[in-house]
Structure 1
Protein backbone atom coordinates (compact mmCIF):
# COMPACT_ATOMS: atom_id res chain seq x y z
CA UNK A 1 0.00 0.00 0.00
CA UNK A 2 1.19 3.51 -0.86
CA UNK A 3 0.09 6.26 1.52
CA UNK A 4 0.79 9.92 0.70
CA UNK A 5 1.24 12.02 3.87
CA UNK A 6 1.78 15.77 4.01
CA UNK A 7 5.36 16.24 5.29
CA UNK A 8 4.62 19.70 6.74
CA UNK A 9 1.31 18.89 8.41
CA UNK A 10 0.82 15.09 8.63
CA UNK A 11 -2.84 14.10 8.54
CA UNK A 12 -3.84 12.43 11.80
CA UNK A 13 -6.07 9.83 10.13
CA UNK A 14 -3.25 8.69 7.86
CA UNK A 15 -0.73 8.61 10.72
CA UNK A 16 -3.15 6.43 12.71
CA UNK A 17 -3.34 4.11 9.71
CA UNK A 18 0.46 3.82 9.57
CA UNK A 19 0.72 3.33 13.35
CA UNK A 20 -1.84 0.51 13.14
CA UNK A 21 0.41 -1.24 10.59
CA UNK A 22 3.35 -0.93 12.99
CA UNK A 23 1.30 -2.15 15.97
CA UNK A 24 0.21 -5.21 14.01
CA UNK A 25 3.83 -6.18 13.33
CA UNK A 26 4.06 -4.68 9.86
CA UNK A 27 7.13 -3.35 8.05
CA UNK A 28 6.94 0.13 6.55
CA UNK A 29 9.09 2.39 4.40
CA UNK A 30 9.03 5.98 5.58
CA UNK A 31 10.83 9.31 5.11
CA UNK A 32 13.32 10.80 7.55
CA UNK A 33 15.24 14.07 7.43
CA UNK A 34 17.89 12.22 5.41
CA UNK A 35 17.14 9.07 3.37
CA UNK A 36 14.07 6.88 3.28
CA UNK A 37 14.19 4.01 5.76
CA UNK A 38 12.71 0.63 6.54
CA UNK A 39 10.93 0.61 9.87
CA UNK A 40 8.98 -1.47 12.38
CA UNK A 41 8.17 -1.68 16.07
CA UNK A 42 11.47 -2.48 17.83
CA UNK A 43 9.66 -4.94 20.12
CA UNK A 44 8.35 -7.09 17.27
CA UNK A 45 11.15 -9.58 16.66
CA UNK A 46 9.55 -11.05 13.52
CA UNK A 47 9.29 -7.62 11.91
CA UNK A 48 12.89 -6.79 12.87
CA UNK A 49 13.98 -10.10 11.36
CA UNK A 50 12.10 -9.28 8.13
CA UNK A 51 13.96 -5.98 7.82
CA UNK A 52 17.31 -7.64 8.47
CA UNK A 53 16.57 -10.14 5.69
CA UNK A 54 15.48 -7.39 3.31
CA UNK A 55 18.73 -5.54 3.93
CA UNK A 56 20.89 -8.68 4.13
CA UNK A 57 21.93 -7.87 7.71
CA UNK A 58 22.97 -10.19 10.51
CA UNK A 59 21.15 -8.88 13.64
CA UNK A 60 23.98 -10.09 15.88
CA UNK A 61 26.65 -8.17 13.97
CA UNK A 62 24.66 -5.28 12.57
CA UNK A 63 24.56 -1.94 14.32
CA UNK A 64 20.82 -1.51 14.29
CA UNK A 65 19.40 1.90 15.09
CA UNK A 66 16.05 3.23 16.12
CA UNK A 67 14.14 6.47 16.13
CA UNK A 68 13.00 8.09 19.36
CA UNK A 69 10.68 11.03 19.92
CA UNK A 70 13.05 12.88 22.29
CA UNK A 71 16.18 12.52 24.42
CA UNK A 72 14.08 11.42 27.39
CA UNK A 73 12.95 8.37 25.41
CA UNK A 74 16.55 7.75 24.29
CA UNK A 75 17.54 7.64 27.97
CA UNK A 76 15.07 4.79 28.53
CA UNK A 77 17.22 2.48 26.38
CA UNK A 78 20.73 3.77 27.01
CA UNK A 79 23.04 3.44 29.97
CA UNK A 80 23.48 6.64 31.92
CA UNK A 81 24.09 9.55 29.53
CA UNK A 82 26.75 11.85 30.96
CA UNK A 83 26.47 15.63 30.81
CA UNK A 84 28.89 16.03 27.89
CA UNK A 85 26.99 13.58 25.67
CA UNK A 86 23.63 15.00 26.78
CA UNK A 87 24.70 18.52 25.79
CA UNK A 88 26.04 17.26 22.46
CA UNK A 89 22.78 15.48 21.67
CA UNK A 90 20.65 18.41 22.79
CA UNK A 91 22.65 20.73 20.52
CA UNK A 92 22.22 18.55 17.42
CA UNK A 93 18.79 16.94 17.84
CA UNK A 94 16.33 16.82 16.22
CA UNK A 95 18.68 16.51 13.28
CA UNK A 96 20.55 14.35 10.79
CA UNK A 97 22.60 12.41 13.33
CA UNK A 98 22.80 8.87 14.68
CA UNK A 99 24.38 8.75 18.13
CA UNK A 100 25.89 5.44 19.22
CA UNK A 101 25.41 4.84 22.95
CA UNK A 102 25.90 1.99 25.39
CA UNK A 103 22.60 0.11 25.67
CA UNK A 104 20.76 -1.04 28.78
CA UNK A 105 18.56 -4.05 29.57
CA UNK A 106 15.40 -2.47 28.11
CA UNK A 107 16.77 -2.86 24.58
CA UNK A 108 15.20 -5.89 22.82
CA UNK A 109 17.47 -8.93 22.43
CA UNK A 110 17.71 -8.59 18.64
CA UNK A 111 19.46 -5.23 19.06
CA UNK A 112 22.07 -6.51 21.48
CA UNK A 113 25.19 -6.76 19.35
CA UNK A 114 28.49 -7.88 20.78
CA UNK A 115 29.48 -4.33 21.69
CA UNK A 116 26.24 -3.75 23.63
CA UNK A 117 25.61 -0.49 21.80
CA UNK A 118 22.64 1.09 20.05
CA UNK A 119 22.30 3.81 17.46
CA UNK A 120 19.60 6.37 18.20
CA UNK A 121 18.04 9.02 15.98
CA UNK A 122 15.63 11.91 16.51
CA UNK A 123 15.04 13.08 12.93
CA UNK A 124 13.93 16.60 12.12
CA UNK A 125 10.96 15.23 10.20
CA UNK A 126 7.32 15.71 11.15
CA UNK A 127 6.16 12.34 9.83
CA UNK A 128 8.82 10.48 11.86
CA UNK A 129 8.00 12.38 15.00
CA UNK A 130 4.25 11.77 14.90
CA UNK A 131 4.73 8.09 14.00
CA UNK A 132 6.89 7.50 17.07
CA UNK A 133 4.56 9.55 19.23
CA UNK A 134 1.56 7.57 17.98
CA UNK A 135 3.23 4.20 18.53
CA UNK A 136 4.55 5.39 21.92
CA UNK A 137 7.80 3.47 21.52
CA UNK A 138 10.81 3.66 19.20
CA UNK A 139 10.80 2.57 15.57
CA UNK A 140 13.60 0.64 13.93
CA UNK A 141 15.39 2.54 11.18
CA UNK A 142 17.45 0.94 8.43
CA UNK A 143 18.51 3.09 5.47
CA UNK A 144 16.90 2.09 2.20
CA UNK A 145 19.79 1.45 -0.17
CA UNK A 146 19.41 1.38 -3.95
CA UNK A 147 21.08 -0.84 -6.54
CA UNK A 148 21.44 2.16 -8.84
CA UNK A 149 25.03 2.91 -9.90
CA UNK A 150 24.55 6.66 -9.45
CA UNK A 151 22.11 6.99 -6.55
CA UNK A 152 23.19 5.06 -3.46
CA UNK A 153 19.83 5.55 -1.78
CA UNK A 154 16.25 5.64 -3.05
CA UNK A 155 14.92 9.21 -3.12
CA UNK A 156 11.58 8.99 -4.97
CA UNK A 157 8.78 7.24 -3.01
CA UNK A 158 7.04 6.25 -6.27
CA UNK A 159 10.18 4.37 -7.37
CA UNK A 160 10.41 2.85 -3.91
CA UNK A 161 6.83 1.59 -4.11
CA UNK A 162 7.34 0.14 -7.58
CA UNK A 163 10.53 -1.68 -6.54
CA UNK A 164 9.72 -2.72 -2.97
CA UNK A 165 6.01 -2.23 -2.41
CA UNK A 166 5.29 -5.96 -2.46
CA UNK A 167 8.00 -6.72 0.11
CA UNK A 168 6.64 -4.41 2.81
CA UNK A 169 3.21 -3.63 4.26
CA UNK A 170 3.20 0.12 3.68
CA UNK A 171 5.19 2.77 1.79
CA UNK A 172 4.73 6.33 3.02
CA UNK A 173 5.11 9.02 0.39
CA UNK A 174 6.43 12.02 2.27
CA UNK A 175 8.04 13.71 -0.72
CA UNK A 176 11.45 13.34 -2.34
CA UNK A 177 14.12 12.15 0.09
CA UNK A 178 17.81 13.00 0.27
CA UNK A 179 20.64 10.83 -1.03
CA UNK A 180 22.95 11.18 1.95
CA UNK A 181 22.47 9.36 5.27
CA UNK A 182 22.87 10.68 8.79
CA UNK A 183 26.22 11.45 10.38
CA UNK A 184 27.07 8.68 12.86
CA UNK A 185 28.75 9.73 16.11
CA UNK A 186 30.12 7.16 18.57
CA UNK A 187 29.65 8.45 22.12
CA UNK A 188 30.74 5.28 23.95
CA UNK A 189 34.36 6.37 24.51
CA UNK A 190 36.08 9.23 26.29
CA UNK A 191 35.54 11.56 23.31
CA UNK A 192 32.87 11.57 20.56
CA UNK A 193 34.12 9.98 17.32
CA UNK A 194 32.52 10.45 13.89
CA UNK A 195 32.13 6.96 12.39
CA UNK A 196 30.39 8.11 9.21
CA UNK A 197 30.18 11.59 7.75
CA UNK A 198 26.72 12.25 6.40
CA UNK A 199 24.25 15.10 6.19
CA UNK A 200 24.76 16.39 9.73
CA UNK A 201 27.69 18.68 10.56
CA UNK A 202 28.97 17.97 14.08
CA UNK A 203 29.82 20.98 16.23
CA UNK A 204 31.74 20.17 19.42
Structure 2
Protein backbone atom coordinates (compact mmCIF):
# COMPACT_ATOMS: atom_id res chain seq x y z
CA UNK A 1 0.00 0.00 0.00
CA UNK A 2 1.49 3.37 -1.01
CA UNK A 3 2.60 5.71 1.74
CA UNK A 4 0.28 8.44 2.89
CA UNK A 5 1.68 11.94 2.44
CA UNK A 6 0.82 14.45 5.15
CA UNK A 7 1.50 18.15 4.80
CA UNK A 8 2.48 19.50 8.22
CA UNK A 9 3.62 23.09 8.64
CA UNK A 10 6.46 23.33 11.21
CA UNK A 11 5.33 26.81 12.29
CA UNK A 12 1.77 25.68 12.96
CA UNK A 13 1.49 21.87 13.09
CA UNK A 14 -2.07 20.55 13.36
CA UNK A 15 -2.58 18.31 16.38
CA UNK A 16 -4.76 15.93 14.36
CA UNK A 17 -1.95 15.40 11.84
CA UNK A 18 0.64 14.80 14.58
CA UNK A 19 -1.69 12.26 16.21
CA UNK A 20 -2.06 10.45 12.90
CA UNK A 21 1.71 10.10 12.58
CA UNK A 22 1.98 8.88 16.17
CA UNK A 23 -0.72 6.28 15.49
CA UNK A 24 1.31 5.08 12.52
CA UNK A 25 4.45 4.82 14.67
CA UNK A 26 2.67 2.91 17.42
CA UNK A 27 1.36 0.38 14.91
CA UNK A 28 4.89 -0.37 13.67
CA UNK A 29 4.93 1.99 10.71
CA UNK A 30 7.97 3.54 9.07
CA UNK A 31 7.85 7.29 8.50
CA UNK A 32 9.89 9.92 6.74
CA UNK A 33 10.04 13.20 8.62
CA UNK A 34 11.82 16.58 8.44
CA UNK A 35 14.44 17.70 10.93
CA UNK A 36 16.78 20.64 11.46
CA UNK A 37 19.20 18.95 9.03
CA UNK A 38 18.08 16.41 6.41
CA UNK A 39 14.91 14.39 6.00
CA UNK A 40 15.10 11.11 7.88
CA UNK A 41 13.58 7.65 8.18
CA UNK A 42 12.17 6.79 11.59
CA UNK A 43 10.16 4.32 13.64
CA UNK A 44 9.12 3.63 17.24
CA UNK A 45 12.26 2.58 19.11
CA UNK A 46 10.27 0.04 21.15
CA UNK A 47 8.60 -1.68 18.20
CA UNK A 48 10.92 -4.56 17.24
CA UNK A 49 9.27 -5.43 13.92
CA UNK A 50 9.45 -1.78 12.86
CA UNK A 51 13.13 -1.72 13.77
CA UNK A 52 13.67 -4.87 11.70
CA UNK A 53 11.90 -3.24 8.74
CA UNK A 54 14.11 -0.15 9.10
CA UNK A 55 17.25 -2.31 9.11
CA UNK A 56 16.03 -4.28 6.08
CA UNK A 57 15.34 -1.03 4.22
CA UNK A 58 18.93 0.07 4.90
CA UNK A 59 20.16 -3.43 3.87
CA UNK A 60 21.89 -4.08 7.20
CA UNK A 61 21.43 -6.49 10.09
CA UNK A 62 19.58 -5.00 13.03
CA UNK A 63 22.30 -6.02 15.50
CA UNK A 64 24.84 -4.14 13.34
CA UNK A 65 22.72 -1.03 12.95
CA UNK A 66 23.73 2.37 14.27
CA UNK A 67 20.37 4.11 14.22
CA UNK A 68 20.32 7.35 16.17
CA UNK A 69 17.99 7.70 19.14
CA UNK A 70 15.93 10.83 18.55
CA UNK A 71 14.78 12.54 21.75
CA UNK A 72 12.99 15.82 22.44
CA UNK A 73 15.17 16.74 25.44
CA UNK A 74 17.82 15.29 27.76
CA UNK A 75 15.35 13.56 30.07
CA UNK A 76 15.66 10.28 28.15
CA UNK A 77 19.44 10.04 28.56
CA UNK A 78 19.40 7.93 31.72
CA UNK A 79 17.28 5.34 29.94
CA UNK A 80 19.96 4.67 27.33
CA UNK A 81 23.36 5.87 28.51
CA UNK A 82 25.75 5.34 31.37
CA UNK A 83 26.06 8.21 33.87
CA UNK A 84 27.85 11.21 32.39
CA UNK A 85 30.06 13.71 34.18
CA UNK A 86 29.26 17.39 34.61
CA UNK A 87 31.49 18.62 31.78
CA UNK A 88 29.81 16.30 29.26
CA UNK A 89 26.37 17.27 30.54
CA UNK A 90 27.21 20.98 30.17
CA UNK A 91 28.41 20.39 26.60
CA UNK A 92 25.21 18.52 25.75
CA UNK A 93 22.99 21.14 27.37
CA UNK A 94 24.68 23.97 25.46
CA UNK A 95 24.29 22.26 22.07
CA UNK A 96 20.88 20.61 22.43
CA UNK A 97 18.54 21.00 20.66
CA UNK A 98 20.64 21.37 17.54
CA UNK A 99 22.21 19.69 14.49
CA UNK A 100 24.38 17.24 16.46
CA UNK A 101 24.48 13.50 17.07
CA UNK A 102 26.35 12.70 20.30
CA UNK A 103 27.82 9.23 20.75
CA UNK A 104 27.70 8.10 24.38
CA UNK A 105 28.33 4.87 26.26
CA UNK A 106 25.23 2.70 26.35
CA UNK A 107 23.78 1.17 29.50
CA UNK A 108 22.06 -2.19 29.90
CA UNK A 109 18.52 -0.79 29.73
CA UNK A 110 18.47 -0.31 25.97
CA UNK A 111 15.40 -1.37 23.96
CA UNK A 112 15.55 -4.91 22.62
CA UNK A 113 16.66 -3.83 19.15
CA UNK A 114 19.76 -2.18 20.64
CA UNK A 115 20.82 -5.01 22.97
CA UNK A 116 24.56 -5.60 22.83
CA UNK A 117 25.38 -2.09 21.61
CA UNK A 118 28.21 -0.54 23.60
CA UNK A 119 27.48 2.98 22.36
CA UNK A 120 24.44 4.92 21.19
CA UNK A 121 23.98 8.06 19.14
CA UNK A 122 21.68 10.59 20.80
CA UNK A 123 20.09 13.38 18.80
CA UNK A 124 17.70 16.21 19.78
CA UNK A 125 16.69 18.07 16.61
CA UNK A 126 15.84 21.75 16.77
CA UNK A 127 12.63 21.19 14.83
CA UNK A 128 9.00 21.34 15.95
CA UNK A 129 7.73 18.24 14.14
CA UNK A 130 10.03 15.52 15.56
CA UNK A 131 9.84 17.13 19.00
CA UNK A 132 6.02 16.97 18.97
CA UNK A 133 6.02 13.40 17.62
CA UNK A 134 8.24 12.19 20.46
CA UNK A 135 6.24 14.12 23.05
CA UNK A 136 2.96 12.56 21.87
CA UNK A 137 4.49 9.09 21.37
CA UNK A 138 5.94 9.12 24.87
CA UNK A 139 9.34 7.70 23.90
CA UNK A 140 12.15 8.38 21.41
CA UNK A 141 12.22 7.19 17.83
CA UNK A 142 15.01 5.37 16.00
CA UNK A 143 16.23 7.23 12.96
CA UNK A 144 18.61 7.32 10.04
CA UNK A 145 19.14 9.99 7.38
CA UNK A 146 17.86 9.56 3.85
CA UNK A 147 20.85 9.33 1.60
CA UNK A 148 21.03 9.74 -2.16
CA UNK A 149 23.63 7.79 -4.15
CA UNK A 150 24.26 10.90 -6.23
CA UNK A 151 27.61 12.26 -5.05
CA UNK A 152 26.68 15.82 -5.99
CA UNK A 153 23.28 15.87 -4.29
CA UNK A 154 24.17 13.81 -1.23
CA UNK A 155 20.79 14.12 0.44
CA UNK A 156 17.27 14.43 -0.87
CA UNK A 157 15.72 17.74 0.13
CA UNK A 158 12.47 17.92 -1.85
CA UNK A 159 9.60 16.05 -0.11
CA UNK A 160 7.90 15.42 -3.46
CA UNK A 161 11.00 13.68 -4.82
CA UNK A 162 11.32 11.79 -1.54
CA UNK A 163 7.73 10.59 -1.94
CA UNK A 164 8.43 9.39 -5.48
CA UNK A 165 11.37 7.35 -4.27
CA UNK A 166 9.99 5.93 -1.01
CA UNK A 167 6.20 5.77 -1.36
CA UNK A 168 6.25 1.97 -1.74
CA UNK A 169 8.59 1.19 1.18
CA UNK A 170 7.39 3.42 4.03
CA UNK A 171 3.94 3.98 5.51
CA UNK A 172 3.81 7.74 5.91
CA UNK A 173 5.75 10.72 4.59
CA UNK A 174 5.59 14.12 6.27
CA UNK A 175 5.90 17.02 3.88
CA UNK A 176 7.32 19.78 6.04
CA UNK A 177 8.74 21.83 3.18
CA UNK A 178 12.22 21.73 1.72
CA UNK A 179 14.87 20.17 3.95
CA UNK A 180 18.54 20.95 4.33
CA UNK A 181 21.25 19.03 2.47
CA UNK A 182 23.82 18.94 5.26
CA UNK A 183 23.70 16.19 7.87
CA UNK A 184 24.26 16.54 11.62
CA UNK A 185 27.73 16.78 13.12
CA UNK A 186 28.63 13.52 14.87
CA UNK A 187 30.56 13.99 18.13
CA UNK A 188 32.04 11.06 20.06
CA UNK A 189 31.93 11.68 23.83
CA UNK A 190 32.83 8.17 24.99
CA UNK A 191 36.37 9.19 25.97
CA UNK A 192 35.17 12.13 28.06
CA UNK A 193 36.42 14.77 25.63
CA UNK A 194 34.66 15.58 22.35
CA UNK A 195 35.98 14.05 19.14
CA UNK A 196 34.34 15.05 15.87
CA UNK A 197 33.63 11.92 13.83
CA UNK A 198 31.85 13.75 11.02
CA UNK A 199 31.67 17.47 10.50
CA UNK A 200 28.18 18.44 9.45
CA UNK A 201 25.87 21.38 9.98
CA UNK A 202 26.63 21.87 13.67
CA UNK A 203 29.67 23.86 14.79
CA UNK A 204 30.96 22.59 18.12
* Same-fold call, TM cutoff 0.5: yes
Give the equivalent residue in structure 1 for 2:150: 148
Distance 1:157 1:196, change over 3 A: same
Who is 2:123 aligned against?
121
Structure 2 residue runs of 5 or longer lacking an equivalent are none
Aligned residue in 2 for 1:62: 65
Query: If the length of structure 2 is used for normalisation, what is the TM-score?
Result: 0.95
1:92 CA drift (Å): 0.3
Q: Report the counterpart of residue 87 of structure 2 in structure 1.
A: 84
* Conserved 8 A contact 1:75-1:81: no
Query: Matches of 2:130 and 2:89 in 1, distance apart?
Result: 22
For residue 82 of structure 1, report the CA deviation from its aligned partner. Answer: 1.2
Match of 1:107 in 2: 110
CA distance in 1, matches of 2:40, 2:9: 17
Matches of 2:98 and 2:68 in 1, distance apart? Answer: 15
Runs of 5+ consecutive residues of structure 1 not aligned to the other structure: none
Match of 1:10 in 2: 13
Deviation at 1:113, TM superposition (A): 4.9
- Large movers: runs of 4+ above 3 Å: none
Equivalent residues, number:
201
Q: Is the Cα–Cα contact under 8 Å of residues 9 and 176 in structure 2 kept in the other structure?
A: yes
What is the alpha-carbon root mean square deviation over aligned residues?
1.2
* CA deviation string 1:128-152 (max 9, x = no partner): 1000001000001100011334211
